Amino acid sequence: MNQTKEKKMKELKNVVIYTKDHCPFCVRVKNYLTSEKVDFKQIRVDEDPKAYEELKEKTNLQTVPQVFVDGKFIGSATDFFAWIDG
Q: What residues does each domain of the chain span?
A: 3-85
Right CATH number for 3-85 from 3.30.565.10, 3.40.50.11740, 3.90.660.10, 3.40.30.10? 3.40.30.10
Give the model confidence (pLDDT) of 27-85 as tens digits. Answer: 999 999 999 999 999 999 999 999 999 999 999 999 999 999 999 999 999 999 999 98
pLDDT bracket for residue 22 (50, 70, 90): very high
Quote the pTM value: 0.91
Average pLDDT of the segment spanning 17-34: 96
Q: How many CB atoms neighbour CB 34 within 10 A?
A: 11
Side chain identity, residue 33? L
pLDDT at site 5: 76
